[in-house]
Structure 1
């Protein structure tokens, strides 16, 4: 799949979650908490790994992508059932997929019909925590930052009980490698209490480590097409 195909937002194609903007925030590493030279080395390594892993997942055929997405959706339903009794009445923040990420949009509608409150993350202020707006199948989406479909400004603001975080890479300690903008970690750090955090990605994206830094926040679990992979 090409990036051009991934950027489409029509039915059956891909769009983009605002929490995964690819731009690197140069202030994201806190030099007071980590050696600046080490932080730069890690940033360079992560940049290379992001490019490598994103290139690899572009090789997925459309049929393979659909199959893997369906398996992840099934695995997520199992987690919600076993840990949250189906999550009825709870707020679950999901995402709009980009560039070959697992596509769980059909599950969004299914969970909504089962009584789960669905929210989508929005960038209202650059380099600030995300906000989460209510989504339903009837929501009239508008174009947000990076031309991403998002719920409109008058949609209700919610605080998630459970939050999905699509990832580029992951490790056994349940740390996720994102796109480098820092939005998700920044948002988690601002939420009290923090939601239950589920990283969503491919089994093939496993790394020995992401070399976690002080600002990195581990997921509560990592979920791939093979089920729960890291706790």
Structure 2
């Protein structure tokens, strides 16, 4: 969610041209070294990479994605033990993201509070509202369900879905910039845990000044 073209919502951009002729020997794009072309090159590369990674995870079978989601949930259990007392910001799965909805029941059973993000307006931070299975939902932006009545909270742990990630802990999202904007606006920065697929690992996302690194990363490996 941190691209130079961060006004683009998911699924609205056209398929980019082939980049193979623009890649260096290490498989990374050949970027301009100075001037406005840097931003344009990065924008094009992130769009192309985002589309490729989303297509690759959607190509996984539903059974494989479920198995991966279960392994990620087990690793999250260990990373956050004990669960009681945490207020955990999660997400509703979208376009093949790991599905952690069954894990929310575990969190609630162990005394944690769980919240889902709400897009309030373009260019504004996300709002997290308390939600647990059984609470009412309504359709939000991109038809993603959001809590209808939950109280607004500030999570102390934020589980953030990612499209891609690199060894430095930076995440590639959908290009809206919502998570980075939200983290900068929070009075107290939560522990940020990125979750995704091993196939989404990148040498670098070419982080910019507005990109916020994750504190931890959990994939199925």
Specify the TM-score bucket, using the shorter chain as the normaliser: 0.7 to 0.9
| Partner SS for 2:202 | coil
1:145-177 per-position Cα deviation (integer Å, ceiling 9, x unaligned): 22111101x320000100011001000000001
Deviation at 1:35, TM superposition (A): 5.2
2:118 aligns to what? 122
User: What do residues 6-59 of structure 1 show as CA deviations (whole Å, max 9, x unaligned)?
Assistant: xxxxxxxxxxxxxx95278xxxxxxxxx95331221111100100111111111
**1:21-170 pair list within 5 angstroms:** 21-22=9-10, 36-81=36-81, 86-152=82-148, 154-170=149-165
**Number of the residue aligned with 1:13:** none
TM-score computed with the length of structure 2 as normaliser:
0.83
Distance in 1 separating the partners of 2:174 and 2:159: 15
Q: Find the counterpart in structure 1 of residue 187 from structure 2.
A: 192
For the aligned residues, what is the CA RMSD? 1.6
Count of residue pairs the alignment pairs up: 193
**Paired residue for 1:181?**
176
Tell whether the 8 Å contact from 2:77 to 2:83 is kept in structure 1 after alignment.
no
2:213 is matched with which residue: 206, 215, 218? 218
Contact 1:168 1:176 in 2 (8 A): yes
- Please point out which of 197, 204, 220 is paired with 2:199: 204
Structure 1 residue ranges (4+ consecutive) displaced by more than 3 angstroms after TM superposition: none
8 Å Cα contact 2:169/2:216 also seen in 1:
yes
Match of 1:11 in 2: none
SS in 2 for 1:87: coil
Query: How much has 1:138 moved relative to structure 2?
Result: 2.3
TM-score, with structure 1 as normaliser:
0.80
- Given that residues 94 and 144 in structure 2 are in contact (C-alpha distance below 8 angstroms), is that contact kept between their aligned partners in structure 1? no
